[in-house]
Amino acid sequence: MSTPLTAPGRLVAGRYRLQSQIGGGGMGAVWLALDELLGRQVAVKQVLVSESDEALAEQQRQRALREGRIAARLSHPHAISVYDVAQEGEVPWLVMEYLPSRSLAEVVQADGVLRVDQVAQIGAQVADALAATHAAGIVHRDVKPANILIGQGERIEGLVKITDFGISHAHGDVTLTQTGQITGTPAFLAPEVAQGYEMGEASDVFSLGATLYTCLEGQPPFGMEDNALAMLHKVAGGSIRPPARAGSLSGPLTRMLAADPAERPSMAEVRDELARLAAGRSGDTTTVLLARTDLRPAGGRPSTEVFPAAAPEAAEPPPPPPPVHVDDRPRVVPAARPPARRRGVWVAAALAVVAVAALIGFWALGRDDPGGSDTQAEGSASPSAEAPASASPSASEEPQTEDDTTADPTDDAAPSAEPTEPTGQQPTEPVVAPATDPASAVRAFFALVPGNLDAAYQLTSPGFQQRFPLASFSGFWDDFSSVQISNIEPRGDDRALADITYVRPDGSSTTERHELRFEADANGRLLLDRDEQV
């Protein structure tokens, strides 16, 4: 390859003033430059060509010029635009849109794996750009996390764009034969490409699937090998590791990563399916394709706006917490007292009947009703069983009588009136009651998911809630109809191993071994802090 003689201040093609180097790789250095004609910042990449093989060098120059001109005609909100292909001497320079950003590879390396909703949204947007690329007759050939950029800055924060359309020869390219060259990064190649077949649109679909898989699983579907040829051998075999953390993306990823190119969906189909998943049941797919993605670990705001599936699902469980626990107490307490008040009235009436005539007894009963409040303290001090004598002395007490008749059968035996309150408390009790050993904490948490997500979320630590807002927490559990735990194995005072079986609405299930780590709050209650597959 020819050695680039470049330095800040150099004027390329009489128009682009180099300012600072912002990247580089097997293809050459990438510079931030000023377009002095239009007065805007651009990214300028020098395309390196072979020094030893003139025929190959000419082929590389013509290819860069041809494909650069094609890419320059592509305008898409999620694609880095190519503005110009400048020829200076024997070297072509690609002039592109400049986006202050981090690559998706840098995001995953620095922040860890992403949530399913984030990956679905990013995947839908990149697939939208690639679908437009394919429609323009361009095959990207090097879709990977390093070529997907996430904007940084006030006006571009979270803007997703894919770069290097059909022109990149990334560092680590492997020459398979003297006449055939594999362009792309081996870990993200499609099996047919590793076998020596021509790259096509289906190859881009596979590479995008491998990219999204990496964002969820932390490594490519074929793993990683330092030896590029060994990596190619793995890829050519076409046997991927099934995704374990993909949730609702498991199906789409499996189809995108099919070994047979004919079995993969088109890029437009990938876009539509991922957009539907990211939008949820009541969301707008158009919003997904245009939204900014907040990839901060504690963020998720744009993602939750376009991933509202969690809200409807989380809205179903709330009926147990609000109505029962709060309303039962007012009903039980007043219900226990008025019957006792009325009991005092009837006892007084009975004594009056014995002492006086029946007529005077009824008269005494009538007068004692308003005076019953005087004896309320005495009556309420008597917690003995009340027979179902809930007849109403006057129409004015009708609402109270209804409450009392509801409570009276329970009041028939004092013990059954008392348990009413704890029984009403039953669903909330696991949330409040301290679990001070990890095995109990595991059982308490998984007893609440996926049916009562609000209560389960209360059993997570502040650190957990910072990393996973309620919307993303709910969005994860939205993919499952039930969950089962078994083989709980405590490890010390703050962690446990357990087998977790996730059951999907279609009846399929996945069992994983997880290590769950807990953090004690001020009251000694263990709260879930981390959940990692082992």
Q: Which amino acid is at 340?
A: A
**In this structure, is residue 309 part of a structural domain?**
no
**158 and 271 in a common domain:** yes
Last residue in a domain, options 98, 121, 139? 98
Tokens of 449: 């998911």
Q: For the chain, how many structural domains are there in total? A: 3
- Three-state DSSP class for 44? strand
**42 and 21 in a common domain:** yes
The CB density around residue 206, as the number of other CB atoms within 10 Å, is 27
**In this structure, is residue 364 part of a structural domain?**
no
Is 45 labelled as part of a ligand binding site? yes
**Which pLDDT score is estimated for 39?**
95
Q: Degrees (nearest 5) of the Cα angle 372, 373, 379?
A: 70
pTM (predicted TM-score):
0.55
**108 and 89 in a common domain:** no
Residue 209, beta-bridge partner list:
none
Among positive and negative, which fits the CA dihedral 48, 52, 57, 59? negative
**175 and 220 in a common domain:** yes
Last residue in a domain, options 296, 318, 340? 296
Q: Degrees (nearest 5) of the Cα angle 484, 487, 491?
A: 120
Phi, psi of 297, deg, nearest 5:
-55, -35
User: With left for phi above 0 and alpha for psi between -120 and 50, is residue 478 left, alpha or beta?
Assistant: alpha
**184 and 39 in a common domain:** no
- Which residues form the domain of 33? 1-98
Task: Look up residue 184 and give its DSSP letter.
Answer: S
**In this structure, is residue 424 part of a structural domain?**
no
Last residue in a domain, options 33, 68, 98? 98
**77 and 207 in a common domain:** no
Tokens of 522: 């001020």
Distance from C-alpha of 238 to C-alpha of 228, rounded to nearest angstrom: 16
Q: Which amino acid is at 162?
A: I
**In this structure, is residue 313 part of a structural domain?**
no
**Which pLDDT score is estimated for 307?**
29
Q: Degrees (nearest 5) of the Cα angle 254, 470, 492?
A: 85
Q: What is the DSSP string of 286-351?
A: HHHHH------TT--HHHHHT-TTHHHHHHSSSSIIIIIHHHHHHHHHHHHHHHHHHHHHHHHHHH
Nearest-10 crossing angle of helices 116-135, 267-279? 150
- Nearest residue to 484 via CA among 456, 518, 509: 509
Distance from C-alpha of 72 to C-alpha of 61, rounded to nearest angstrom: 16
Distance from C-alpha of 517 to C-alpha of 309, rounded to nearest angstrom: 28
**118 and 70 in a common domain:** no
**505 and 444 in a common domain:** yes
Query: Which helix or strand (DSSP H or E) is residue 207 part of?
Result: helix 201-217
Q: Do 458 and 428 meet the contact criterion of CB atoms below 8 Å apart? A: no
**252 and 238 in a common domain:** yes
Residue 18, beta-bridge partner list:
33
**Which pLDDT score is estimated for 186?**
84
Q: What is the CATH number of the domain that holds 487?
A: 3.10.450.50
Distance from C-alpha of 184 to C-alpha of 140, rounded to nearest angstrom: 9
**In this structure, is residue 486 part of a structural domain?**
yes
**284 and 147 in a common domain:** yes
**In this structure, is residue 397 part of a structural domain?**
no
**In this structure, is residue 37 part of a structural domain?**
yes
**In this structure, is residue 370 part of a structural domain?**
no
**225 and 168 in a common domain:** yes
Q: Degrees (nearest 5) of the Cα angle 370, 375, 378?
A: 155
Tokens of 367: 């007068």
Task: Look up residue 26 and give its DSSP letter.
Answer: T
The CB density around residue 177, as the number of other CB atoms within 10 Å, is 8
Q: What is the CATH number of the domain that holds 51?
A: 3.30.200.20
Distance from C-alpha of 178 to C-alpha of 52, rounded to nearest angstrom: 14
Tokens of 156: 């571009």
**147 and 171 in a common domain:** yes
Q: Divide the 534 residues of the chain into consecutive groups of 10 and give the mean pLDDT of each group.
A: 67 93 75 95 86 83 75 85 84 90 93 93 96 88 93 92 64 39 73 90 96 94 83 87 91 95 97 92 83 66 30 38 40 39 43 45 44 39 38 40 41 41 40 72 92 90 82 76 92 92 83 90 91 80
Q: Which residues are catalytic?
A: 142
